[in-house]
Amino acid sequence: MAENKVKKVTVNTTINGQEMDILIDPYVSLLETLREVVGITGTKEGCNDGNCGACTVNLDGRIVDSCLVLGVEAEGKNIETVEGMASPDGLHPLQQAFLEEAALQCGICTPGFLVSAKALLDNEPDPSEERIRHWLAGNLCRCTGYDKIVKAVTKASKESK
């Protein structure tokens, strides 16, 4: 039977500072592109319909659910994932604070929280608890009750000053 042959497209994009050309089906999500094509699996799939935030990445300074963005939309864009947060010199203050504050239990939502929280602190270095809770409301965590996550973000904001 003749299948609909969809032609793959080449996308030029920058992921965690590295420019690359990737060949993808035009219908795949950015999430699938990162995980299956680029091969970085730190970005997680929790729902694939934009409701859990486990797949949060930073796209040109804006946080998005990568399951709701097409891979082809990455063309010419800068994408940052959890894999891009630490440097060879050490962890990002948020990562360190998450460890010190025990802000993760199972850890599957952690990459999404870290990417979201980093976008917040990049723009607002000293957010209130209310602001943090509001900003992170798009990221679900089922283990922690958010307490220690909110505290970790607060701690990182104080320490990166």
Partner 1 sequence: MVSTPENKNYKVIGTRPIRHDGYDKVTGRAQYGADIKLPGMLIGAVARSPYAHAKIKSIDTSEAEKMDGVFAVMTAKDLPRLGDIVRGNSEESGSERHLSENVMAFEKVLYKGHVVAGVAAKDQNTAFEAVKKIKVDYEVLKPVINVDQAMAKDASILHEDYLGDHLGKKVKNTNIAAHVRHESGNIDDGFEKADLVIEKEVDMQTVHQGYLEPHTGTAVWDEEDRVKIWTSTQGSFAVRDSVSKVLDLDVSRIKVTPMEIGGGFGGKIPIYLEPISAVLSKKTRRPVKTVMSRTDVFDASGPGPGGKVKVKIGIDSEGKILAAYADIRLEAGAYPEAFIEAAAKCVFSCYDVPSMKIDAYDVVVNKPSSAPYRAPASPQVAFATETVVDEICNIKGYDPIDFRLKNVAEKGTRTALGPKYRTIGLKECLEAAKDSDHWKSDLDSNPKSGKKRGRGIASGYWFNIGFKSSVNLSLNPDGKVALTEGSTDIGGSRASIAMQAAEVLGIPAEDVRPSVVDTDSIGITDVTGGSRTTYATGYAAYNAAHKLIEQIIEKSALKWDISKDQIEYSDGVVKSKTDSELKMTLKEIADDPPGGPIVSSASVDLEEAGGGFAVHIADLEIDEETGKTDVVNYTAIQDVGKAIHPSYVEGQMQGGAAQGIGWALNEEYFMSDDGIMLNSSYLDYRMPTSLDLPMINTIMIEVPSEEHPYGVRGVGEPPIVPPVPAIGNAINDALGLRLLNTPMKPSRITEALKRKK
| Cβ neighbour number for residue 39 with a 10 Å cutoff | 7
Q: Compute the least distance from the CB of residue 40 to partner 1, in Å.
A: 7
Site for partner 1 in 119-148 (CB under 8 A): 129, 132-134, 136-148
| Residue 30 contacts residue 71 (beta carbons within 8 Å) | yes
Q: By CB under 8 A, is residue 107 in contact with partner 1?
A: yes
- What is the rounded distance in angstroms from the CA atom of residue 34 to the CA atom of residue 43? 8
Two tokens, residue 95: 């990562």
Size of site (CB under 8 A) for partner 1: 60
Length in residues, the chain: 161
Binding site for partner 1 (CB under 8 A): 1, 3, 25, 27, 32, 35, 39-49, 51-52, 54, 81-83, 85-86, 91, 95, 98-102, 104-111, 114, 129, 132-134, 136-150
